[in-house]
Structure 1
Amino acid sequence: MSISKTKDLLGQLSQLESTVSAFSFEELNADQANELKSSFNSFRTSLEKHIYTPNMDEIVANKMEVTATNQQDISEKQFITQVSHEIRTPLNSIIGFANLLKEEKLTKGQHKKVDAIQFASNTLLKLINEVLDYAKISSGNSKFESVDFNLHSLLKDVMFLCETLVLDRKIELLIEIDENVPKIITGDPSKLSQILLNLLGNSVKFVERGFIKLEVFTKQRNDNAFLLEFSVADTGIGIPKEKMDTIFNGYIQAADDTCKKYGGTGLGLTITKEIINKLKGNIEIDSTVSKGTTVRFRLPYLQGNIATLPNKSIKKAKHNFKTELLAGTEILVFEDNKMNECLIVEQLTKWGCTVHVDTDLDKGLYVLSTKKIDLILMDLKMPGQNGFEVSRAIRSHKNAKVNSVPIIAFSADFTQQDSEKCKEIGINDFLLKPYTLEDLQTTLLKNKENKIEQTEFLSILQKPMIEPKETTVVDLNLLLKDCFGEIDMLSQLVKLFKINAIEFIGNVKIHLKSGNLKEIGLSAHKLKAGFAMIKAEGMRKLIVELEHSCKANELEKVKELYEVFLNDYPLLEDNLSKELEIMKKK
């Protein structure tokens, strides 16, 4: 690992340690502080051990016949994989306990400190994931798939994600899809999303004002085969000519101060090029300092079949429904790490589950034989008998009550070989640590044995409720965090938002009379950032549609959408005021 990457990791570690220590000392009782600090110390010791005293004896012994260059490459890949697992396991505890702490009744000051722990932990996790992703792709262990998917929907989703990152900047996000670009294609949608998000994310990072534009063309077509060209152009800081030859190298950024100012690992473009190469494509960059950058890449695809696309018409159960469905579930957990064991027991118990914790195979088989276990959570990388061996023993048991229980594996790293092993043994599903509570909840429900009949599931979903209209829903929690928990600051922002909304209504009323859709579109563009700020997603979508209708010169459509706005906005403003009052009373 390079010196710059080592410094980056240690810098993140130091920041996280300081925040954890301050929080433990000021806000937690002795037991809570010991739990959190124990997890962090394990994490810190593991990281420092692998940075300062990595054990290379086994690698050297096994690879004596390989050249010195290849030996170094193999050692780095093995080092990255091992360190990833060692770091992610205790980091799972830190993030998990921070999530649980956040659900407690904390003061504003305590919330700020928990937020700081979460931010530092997630930043470190993102860095670790990026390094591991690079190692997997470059060593050929990354999985690529070929499925039918809706390209236009994927592009729309990617642009929406980028739109959420530029709300407070004068940046125009543009997209142009050539009419000859097919809608349904066959390929790897997740890898295409990763490429586009890496490139657009770079543009968002380096553009202060101006535009970012994504264009898609059909470069070549031969029967059902396409060569698609994607172009990401921006008005950012640009790349010096002398840096262009090394811009795709690992841990390289355009300038030494770029990392300090903008952050990141410097691996984004390296990973992007590796993925494009694996997909049999190519990439090139044109850039001028202070004027901007254009990145073009080309990838081959086949014409897809719309009939094979998954049906997304069934809505996911909401959080409270999932919790209700999990109540009473009996779960057997095999986990060797006591901190993670404590964490998962607390998580599952809060959802009303009965949890049996045992890392011993014989006792685990006894529990399976004598209790009505619904699910098994299996850590794959336990010492002694690992999760694969324990799962194999369960699946080969003569008692059908034992061998048929669904097994969900979890681990801090997961390779293609692990995936094949899981399928061969009969492991049903997998969770990568650190996982979110939503991931855990969804995976448990998906794999739970048919204890809850489909009719019972539907009856819960069909309970009579008064659902607020989508265009009237708001959520001020994230905005309050951005205001450092200061209600007065939040109140001022809400007041400014209401003034902007009144201005919008006045402008539209004036310009509708003259049919001036350009001015209406500008007013809509200005207001949509406000709806994003207060998390009024339904109304934001309506305003975006109104803005697009202005650009398309669809006067009647604009009038129709404006009527919906006039009808729903008073309800939204009322909900906004009510939520603000509730927050003031807390």
Structure 2
Amino acid sequence: MNALLSPRIAIWRSSGDAIAVAGADYLNNQIRPIFAAYRSPYIAVMLLVLGFMWLLLLMLDHKLFKPDYERSQRVFESEALNRTMVAAAPSGFALLSFDQGEILLQSNLMHTYESNTPPDEPSLHERLLSLYDRSPDAPAWQSDLEMPLRLADGRVDDLLVSMMRTKYRGKDVVLCSFSDVTTLKNTERKLDEARAAADAANEAKSAFLAMMSHEIRTPLNAILGNLELLGRTPLSSLQEERLGVVTSSSTALLGIINDILDFSKVESGQMTLESISFDLGHVIRQVGAMFEPVAQAKGLEFDCVIDDALAPHYLGDPTRIRQIAINLVSNAIKFTATGEVLLEVYLKDDTADDSPIVIGVSDTGIGMTPQQQETLFHAFTQADSSIARRYGGTGLGLALCLRLTELMHGTIRVKSELNAGSTFIVTLPIPASAATPIGAPENIKAESKPTEIDTHAIHILVVDDQLANRELLVAQLATLGYEAEMADSGGAALRRFNERHYDLVMTDINMPGMDGYALARCLRAQSATVPIIAVTAHVAAEERARCTKAGIDEVLLKPVLLDAMDATVRRLVSEAGRRPANNIAAMRDISQGPLPEHIHAAMIEALKESLRELHAAIELGDTKTVLAQLHAVRGSFAMIQEAEVANACAQMEQQARSHDIPAVKNGLNRFEPLAYSTLARRVMSAQPDT
């Protein structure tokens, strides 16, 4: 095989060599001369083209490719950084699709909360998206949205959410951020609880003070009342001296009680101010007239100066302004041994029509150091620890003056120098009034001119469950020249009232059975126009409002002294004389036949109220309230001589006294339809027969 191929290979090789030789000859003889002729210009052109293209590439790289690359790199780095920042954000952060609600971006905290929600509840991002207000007029930015989130372990966290609608990659999205405010909310809740506890404590304090006021005023009424009666009897000089000491001490105790209660009202926000037209100059003159004898008895000069530029009348609370002036003048006289005391009132700026008024009290007393002045207006604080021992007092007077002044949007300042006296300046922005004063405050009524009446012709019914109080009131009225009779309960008072004529009823409020309110309502229900005076130790404004609602004309606060009692009785009896006279026979006629419309309506309303309180008291097991309400209802039906209903009440009263509350409850279920049907019969009988 090799022998056969070898000649051919040799031929092929020789042929190839021949061709190569021929090609080389052609290149050398034909092509090279041609190329040599054009070689130099062609190379130059090619070099130029290559250089231009290279320069163009360099320029494109410098101007286009490299900046674009750098920008792209920065975009990639920025997006990576943003994602890192979102993921590492200390607050919850999420980018949600507005339409589908999908999570496009979220922080690690968001992911942690998302994975820690209970599986049976909507996911966190769904709840966040549901918070966003999609209404057309809603703002794009919605912040301060609060959302409680229950976690898988049962704990509830409070989230504060802010949301913003925006665009991301051409789509509508909502940017959500939230922070955990559980600690803040817990603090707020604790503050609310502390505030509620403080309010409850404040209410308890006010209730305690009101109760203590009642408990102290009641025996103090007996003390001062009897001391006043004793002072009108013949006494030896030694007895008169001792009587004066006891009376002075009792009056001081009453002043302390009043200051404590007023301060408590201010502190608890229960103090209300009047806004009536009054004569400021007259108020200050009254204070001056009150203290001038006291100052003279101590050997002090006392001056009261009223600025002529004052307006005839001002709009404000004369009682509280008088109280401020009394406290300041009382202190000035107390702390001044020799010299003078000055009380003055003037305009702060007599060139201005709306100038505030200034009340100034100056003395030449013991004065104070700057350190003492710093704590002067603090409650229960006095300038010197020895002052209470040397001069007495509780340290409440000036604190109360400050609170009252601030309530009237005024200021109080003090200028003092040790052993050189003090000056107190109270500035009050009260406006002038064009109206004429329509009435005097309560504590001025007694100072007005007594109404001329024949006291011996006035018959008064005194109602009180305590014998000592009844006898004191009767003795005080007898000293003033009035004829008085006693009743120990509301029911007894009703019977006496329907047996004879009385010109006035003076009743205690808190009595077992039928109290003073129920007595007044029953008297008004039978068209009695007789004046009713409530004598009470309660000083709350609610008590006075309740008295007015029950038909009580006047409230006398214990202790009741002779002058105040006489002035009140004279005024009410005189006013009652201008009312239509009571028709005693007509009043008795309501016990038979139809009831007048207004009496029937009053009895229906009173029955509904009593039944509501009875049902509530039975559920609570409050036997005292059950007895009181049953007694009141019995008295009402006894008044109109409905014996069956009254006897049913009496039977339930006996069961309540035996503490058989279930029997009372059963009896009340039978009594209720009986009472309503009885009242329905009494009004139906008034209809003419057809």
Q: Specify if TM > 0.5.
A: yes
1:336 aligns with 2:465: yes
Does 1:234 pair with 2:363? yes
Q: Does the 8 A contact of 1:143 with 1:416 survive in 2?
A: no
Report how far residue 445 of structure 1 moved.
1.6
1:522 alignment partner in structure 2: none
Residue 188 (structure 1) aligned to one of 312, 317, 326: 317
The correspondence of residues 236-385 of structure 1 with structure 2, limited to 5 A, is 236-305=365-434, 307-308=436-437, 316-317=449-450, 325-385=454-514
Task: Call closer, same or farther: CA 1:65–1:204 in 2, change over 3 Å.
Answer: closer
CA positional deviation for 1:77: 2.0
Shift of 1:428: 0.8
The whole-number CA distance in structure 1 between the counterparts of 2:281 and 2:235 is 44
Report the secondary structure of 2:382's partner residue.
coil
Q: How does 1:116-135 map to 2 (within 5 A)?
A: 116-135=245-264
Paired with 1:161 and 1:342, the residues of 2 have a C-alpha distance of 31
Q: In the alignment, is the contact (CA less than 8 A) between 1:224 and 1:302 conserved in 2?
A: no
What is the aligned partner in structure 1 of residue 553 from structure 2? 428
Identity %: 29
Contact 2:490 2:515 in 1 (8 A): no
More displaced, 240-249 or 191-200? 240-249
- Report the CA distance between 1:396 and its aligned residue: 2.1
Alpha-carbon separation, structure 2, partners of 1:392 and 1:213: 51
Shift of 1:71: 4.3
The aligned amino acid for 2:357 is: L
* Ranges in structure 1 where 5+ consecutive residues have no aligned partner: 1-62, 455-586
- Using the alignment, how far apart are the partners of 2:265 and 2:510 within structure 1? 19
- Name the residue aligned to 2:339: 210
Alignment of 1:443 with 2:568, yes or no, is yes
| Contact 2:531–2:573 (CA under 8 A) maintained in structure 1 | yes
Trace 1:143-222 onto structure 2 (pairs within 5 A): 143-169=272-298, 171-178=300-307, 180-219=309-348
Work out whether 1:88 is the aligned partner of 2:217. Answer: yes
Q: Distance in 1 between matches of 2:429 and 2:339?
A: 31
**Cα distance in 1 for residues equivalent to 2:458 and 2:423:** 53
Cα distance change on mapping 1:117 and 1:199 into 2, 3 Å: closer
Q: Distance in 2 between matches of 1:439 and 1:341?
A: 18
Deviations 1:25-82 (A, max 9, x none): xxxxxxxxxxxxxxxxxxxxxxxxxxxxxxxxxxxxxx98755544443332222111
Q: Which residue of 2 aligns with 1:576?
A: none
- The structure-2 alpha-carbon separation of the partners of 1:418 and 1:223, relative to structure 1 and needing over 3 Å to count, comes to farther
Corresponding residue for residue 530 of structure 2: 405
Within 1, Cα distance between the matches of 2:333 and 2:392? 13
Paired residues of 1:375 and 1:449 also in contact (CA < 8 A): no
SS at 1:284 equivalent = strand
Name the structure 1 match of 2:229. 100
Aligned length: 383
Contact 1:148–1:309 (CA under 8 A) maintained in structure 2: yes
Structure 1 length-normalised TM: 0.59
> Which residue type is aligned with residue 564 of structure 2?
D
Identify if the C-alpha distance between structure 1 residues 218 and 453 changes in structure 2 by more than 3 Å, giving closer, same or farther: closer
Within 5 Å, which residues of 2 pair with 1:558-577? none
Shift of 1:166: 1.8
| Rg larger in structure | 2
The aligned amino acid for 2:374 is: D
SS in structure 1 of the partner of residue 429 of structure 2: strand
Q: 1:116 to 1:195 in 2, by over 3 A?
A: closer
Q: Which amino acid aligns with 1:289?
A: L
The alpha-carbon deviation at position 449 of structure 1 amounts to 6.5
| Aligned partner of residue 252 in structure 1, secondary structure | coil
When normalised by structure 2's length, the TM-score is 0.51
The unaligned stretches of length 5 or more in structure 2 are 1-191, 580-690
Q: 1:366 to 1:169 in 2, by over 3 A?
A: closer
Which amino acid counterpart does residue 429 of structure 1 have in structure 2? E
Contact 2:309 2:350 in 1 (8 A): no
Q: Give the distance between the partners of 1:80 and 1:252, measured in 2 at CA.
A: 20
Q: Deviations over 1:67-109 (max 9, x none)?
A: 5544443332222111110011111112222222333344444
Q: Are the aligned partners of 1:141 and 1:415 in contact in 2 as well (CA < 8 Å)?
A: no
Q: How much has 1:275 moved relative to structure 2?
A: 0.9
1:160/1:331 CA distance change after superposition, 3 Å? closer
Give the superposed CA RMSD. 3.1
Residues 315 and 413 of structure 1: is their aligned pair in 2 closer, same or farther, counting only changes over 3 Å? closer
2:245 and 2:306 mapped to 1: Cα distance?
Answer: 40
State whether residues 415 and 424 of structure 2, in contact with CA within 8 Å, keep that contact through their aligned partners in structure 1: yes
